[in-house]
């Protein structure tokens, strides 16, 4: 049976296949059987070549596979429209404008639960004034019968996706080349931006793509239903501290949790207690950036704290018992088997940290990031060089942006100024050093302190030794208040403490 007359600008009236951009002969297998007429110029026109390309060259494309995919979707929409959606295929994957328009209509009909067949599709295109723009009824009929079998659907889908990836790489690299000429004073920021865009191409979607309200509603309702089914269990990552989990509802994706304290309050110990529970007890991959301590020191603390053995015993001449050695050995095995990644780069820049975090998210799907600590990081932008406050603001905004980009919680330690010592009491959010932007960017702010540090005399200091508190001063999505803790200095470990009104 002879195929109907086609109207496709891919072909010339002399029956020689033409590339829509380069006008060079293409594969003979696509040669039509009869003369054709071209559709209007607005859909005949191929995408422009790169402005930096001095050679006449079309962007990578696969017209035949595009038509084959559309043909399969029209012939068996129940099977192939769903497969296309599951694979993440969008109208942007198509090179040819007419194919973009047709795919968009098919997807719209599918989402509206409307039957997809040639007669009704033709009528919809007529009603919207699109039929002539895609080449008329002949082109639609030719696309419908283009694929005699759908056996090669997956292969053609892969070809179309690969060509789209190549076009995305060309677009990104072209933009990067132009930026490299124009923004020569912002090299670190440019590297960070280029890497982000390249990684987004690998992941198959640009990070700037916005969710529809419908998608957000479905996500919220799904989380709500899980919360109900779990009997009130935290929606985010469990921290191991029941009161904190209740007030925060867990550490949720996209949130930045600031834990601030004066020096020697134990903030590094506290954040490692959180990471220990999230990573070792709950089995979630985690990454720690330590700007102050080496990775070996971090692991030493973690190992002996988990084993319940005070490392100071060795310096005092006490040898570990057999039970001690067994606990230490068990802890070592558990830590070695865990997906815990520690980067101890001193003075790491925000751009470098974000690049490393993106790679780990891609390679190991990390679920949480901890940073010790914010004021030891740096920003390399030109504006940050002349203002420490601006530098901290850029770092804070960068970390919040990273939490949203990777959709994981980011825990950040920060230093407080001398306000608590001057007042002789609990810290406040206004004590955050060097920039109020930290307070603004954070979703939660926890102020960690140990009451013995502010005791008026030695007797009070002895009475309050080991009493600690995390004051949740800001909680964007929940309650604020005091979280009672106890601190075991010999193990560098914070534990839950029953609330004592006398020491509250």
In angstroms, the CA 66 to CA 69 distance is 5
Residue 142 and residue 3 in contact, taking contact as beta carbons nearer than 8 Å: yes
Smallest CA-to-CA distance from 453 within 418, 498, 497, 501 is with: 418
Residue 151 and residue 79 in contact, taking contact as beta carbons nearer than 8 Å: no
Residue 340 and residue 280 in contact, taking contact as beta carbons nearer than 8 Å: yes
In angstroms, the CA 478 to CA 472 distance is 10
The label of the residue with tokens 């690049």 reads: 355
Enzyme catalytic residues? 292
Quick check: helix, strand or coil at residue 449? strand
Residue 38 corresponds to which tokens in the numbers above?
């071209």
The β-bridge relationship of strands 286-290 and 368-372 is parallel
Residue 338 and residue 287 in contact, taking contact as beta carbons nearer than 8 Å: no
| Three-point CA angle 379, 192, 394, nearest 5° | 30
What letter does residue 279 receive in the DSSP assignment?
Answer: I
Residue 40 and residue 133 in contact, taking contact as beta carbons nearer than 8 Å: yes
Residue 376 and residue 290 in contact, taking contact as beta carbons nearer than 8 Å: no
Q: Which residues contact 229 (CB under 8 A, 6 or more apart)?
A: none
DSSP letters, 215-274, are HHHHHHHHHHHHHHHTTS--SSB--S-HHHHHHHTSB-TT-EEEEEE-TTS-HHHHHHHH
By CB neighbour count within 10 A (0-12 exposed, 13-18 middle, 19+ buried), where does 317 fall?
Answer: exposed
By CB neighbour count within 10 A (0-12 exposed, 13-18 middle, 19+ buried), where does 162 fall?
Answer: middle
The label of the residue with tokens 């959180």 reads: 274
In angstroms, the CA 265 to CA 471 distance is 13
């Amino acid at each position: 049976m002879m195929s109907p007359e086609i109207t496709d600008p891919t072909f010339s009236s002399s029956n020689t296949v033409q590339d829509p951009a380069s006008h060079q002969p293409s594969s003979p297998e696509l040669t039509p059987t009869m003369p054709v007429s071209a559709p209007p110029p607005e859909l005949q026109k191929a995408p422009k070549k790169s402005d930096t390309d001095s050679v006449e060259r079309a962007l990578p494309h696969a017209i035949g596979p595009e038509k084959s995919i559309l043909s399969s979707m029209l012939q068996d929409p129940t099977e192939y429209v769903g497969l296309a959606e599951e694979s993440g295929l969008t109208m942007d994957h198509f090179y040819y404008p007419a194919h973009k328009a047709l795919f968009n209509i098919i997807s719209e009909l599918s989402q509206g639960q409307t039957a997809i067949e040639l007669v009704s599709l033709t009528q919809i295109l007529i009603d919207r004034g699109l039929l002539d723009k895609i080449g008329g009824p002949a082109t639609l009929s030719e696309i419908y019968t283009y694929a005699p079998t759908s056996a090669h659907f997956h292969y053609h889908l892969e070809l179309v996706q690969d060509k789209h990836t190549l076009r995305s790489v060309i677009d990104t690299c072209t933009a990067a080349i132009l930026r490299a000429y124009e923004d020569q004073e912002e090299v670190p920021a440019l590297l960070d931006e280029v890497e982000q865009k390249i990684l987004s191409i690998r992941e198959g979607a640009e990070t700037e793509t916005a969710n529809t309200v419908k998608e957000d509603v479905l996500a919220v309702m799904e989380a709500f239903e899980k919360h109900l089914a779990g009997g009130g269990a935290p929606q985010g990552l469990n921290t191991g501290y029941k009161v904190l989990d209740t007030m925060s509802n867990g550490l949720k994706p996209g949130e930045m949790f600031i834990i601030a304290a004066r020096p020697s309050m134990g903030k590094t110990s506290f954040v490692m207690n959180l990471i220990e529970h999230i990573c070792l007890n709950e089995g979630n991959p985690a990454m720690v950036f330590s700007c102050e301590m080496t990775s070996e020191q971090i692991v030493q603390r973690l190992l002996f704290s988990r084993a319940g053995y005070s490392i100071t015993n060795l310096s005092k001449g006490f040898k570990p018992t057999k039970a001690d050695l067994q606990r230490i050995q068990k802890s070592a095995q558990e830590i070695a088997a865990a997906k815990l990644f520690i980067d101890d780069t001193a003075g790491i820049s925000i751009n470098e940290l974000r690049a490393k975090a993106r790679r780990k998210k891609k390679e190991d799907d990390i679920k949480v990031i901890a940073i010790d600590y914010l004021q030891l990081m740096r920003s390399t932008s030109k504006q940050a060089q002349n203002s420490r406050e601006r530098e901290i603001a850029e770092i804070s905004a960068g970390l919040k942006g990273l939490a949203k980009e990777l959709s994981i919680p980011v825990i950040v330690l920060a230093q407080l100024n001398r306000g608590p010592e001057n007042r002789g009491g609990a810290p406040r959010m206004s004590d955050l050093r060097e920039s109020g932007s930290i307070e603004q960017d954070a979703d939660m702010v926890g102020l960690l302190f140990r009451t013995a540090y502010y005791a008026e005399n030695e007797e009070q200091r002895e009475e309050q030794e080991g009493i600690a508190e995390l004051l949740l001063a800001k909680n964007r999505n929940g309650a604020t208040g005091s979280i009672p803790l106890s601190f075991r200095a010999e193990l560098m470990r914070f534990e839950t403490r029953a609330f004592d009104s006398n020491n509250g």
